[in-house]
Amino acid sequence: MTIGVTIPASDTYQAANLIEEFVNQTGQAAAAGLSSVWFPQLLDYDAVMVAALAGRAFPGISVGTGVVPIYPRHPLLISALAQTAQAATGGRFTLGLGLGSKPFLKPAFGQPYPPPVQHLREYLAVLRPLLSGVETEFDGDILSLHPSMPTIVPGAKPVPIVVAAMGPKALATAGELADGTLPYFAGPKALSTNIVPVIGRAAASAGRPRPRVIAVFPAVVTREVEATREVLGERLAAYEEIPSYRRILDAEGVAHAVDLAVVGDEELVAAAVQRYFDAGATEVVISQAGVRSGEDRLRTWRLLGELNKR
């Protein structure tokens, strides 16, 4: 059981050079005693490249993407990026993938949005052998792969794949073809009833090892509780309109995404982390969505580092 954090925090964008700040914060996370840092894929930077740079700069910490949407990226492109990051970090990179949200992504890229679960199944069928060092070809209903040159990076160890899966079909696919799941807003109740048993059964049926279950939720150690919760409420509200997140919030029995945020003192956050481990998480990753200052961020990381060392 390990503890990590997502980067960036909201104070990150105040930096003159965003990528340098990502790397600097990775060093701070490593110094605090955290096991991992995870970078979300937005539209302004490349998360896999950032993970490679940060992981190479600080050998004492694992890095990953949380997460890269598979639409509209061809698996051959993601394979090349992931293998490069794995070789650069000496085997400390995990590729986190997600289905993405059609209402947010389709207007940005302007390409047809495929059936999500079928796309995920074909994607993993192509990507898993590539990231295990196996040259492969593939013809599916959505994807095709017939490379005319090598696709394996010498020196890259096999790359673990985790999927931000929360629905039963996506979880079953992840259990069968990936190494685990990275759900966001799956609270302890939803985790123990809707996530852990479903992906666990799928992995067991496929003869796969016990899957990683990386629970991600927002938490901030701060004195400014009300102001921080207000910021979180604004930043997390959009997730409530996305069907997959709406279903997992309903499974937890909460009306709003901010209801899953843990904001307060060290004792409050430490108890929340333990609840997620008790619910079946193998790893906990704390989202920094509501951090309002570098002081609060470092205070939160000091606590998480202490818990991680225990």
Residue pLDDT, tens place only, 55-83: 999 999 999 999 999 999 999 999 999 99
Q: Provide the token pair at 214.
A: 């990386």
Residue 158: CA atoms inside 13 Å, Cβ hemisphere, count? 10
Query: Cα–Cα distance between 284 and 219 in angstroms, integer?
Result: 11
Percentage of the chain beyond pLDDT 90 is: 87
Q: By three-state DSSP, how is residue 202 classified?
A: helix
Query: Cα–Cα distance between 113 and 195 in angstroms, integer?
Result: 25
| Helix (H) or strand (E) segment spanning residue 237 | none
pLDDT surpassing 90 at residue 24: yes
pLDDT surpassing 70 at residue 248: yes
For 39, 66, 174, 262, 301, the CA distances from 163, given in Å and listed in that order, are 14, 9, 6, 24, 25
Strand-pairing partners, residue 162, are 96
Residue pLDDT, tens place only, 141-151: 999 999 999 99
pLDDT surpassing 80 at residue 10: no
Residue type, 140: G
Q: Distance from first CA to last CA of the chain, Å, rounded?
A: 10
Q: Sign of dihedral through CA atoms 75, 155, 65, 244?
A: positive
Residue pLDDT, tens place only, 34-46: 999 999 998 899 9
Query: Cα–Cα distance between 153 and 218 in angstroms, integer?
Result: 36
Q: Counting beta carbons within 10 angstroms of the beta carbon of residue 233, is it exposed (0 to 12), middle (13 to 18) or buried (19 or more)?
A: middle
Mean pLDDT of 233-258: 94
Q: By three-state DSSP, how is residue 161 classified?
A: strand
Residue 14: what pLDDT?
A: 73
Q: Provide the token pair at 26.
A: 């990775």
Q: By three-state DSSP, how is residue 218 classified?
A: strand
Q: Which band of pLDDT confidence, cut at 50, 70 and 90, is reported for residue 105?
A: confident
More confident residue, 126 or 43: 126
What domains sit in the chain, N to C, each tagged with a CATH number?
2-309 (3.20.20.30)
Query: Cα–Cα distance between 120 and 126 in angstroms, integer?
Result: 10
Residue 157: what pLDDT?
A: 97
pTM of this prediction?
0.96
Q: Provide the token pair at 295.
A: 């002081």
Q: Output Rg (C-alpha) for the chain, integer angstroms.
A: 18
User: pLDDT averaged over the chain?
Assistant: 95
Q: Provide the token pair at 150.
A: 């090598």
Query: Cα–Cα distance between 180 and 159 in angstroms, integer?
Result: 12
More confident residue, 6 or 11: 6
Q: Which band of pLDDT confidence, cut at 50, 70 and 90, is reported for residue 16?
A: confident
Q: Which band of pLDDT confidence, cut at 50, 70 and 90, is reported for residue 11?
A: low
Residue 266: what pLDDT?
A: 98
Residue 38: what pLDDT?
A: 98
Query: Cα–Cα distance between 6 and 218 in angstroms, integer?
Result: 9
Q: Which band of pLDDT confidence, cut at 50, 70 and 90, is reported for residue 9?
A: low
Q: Which band of pLDDT confidence, cut at 50, 70 and 90, is reported for residue 254?
A: very high
What is the dihedral angle through the alpha carbons of 271, 277, 279, 285, rounded to the nearest 10 degrees? Answer: 90
Residue 286: what pLDDT?
A: 97
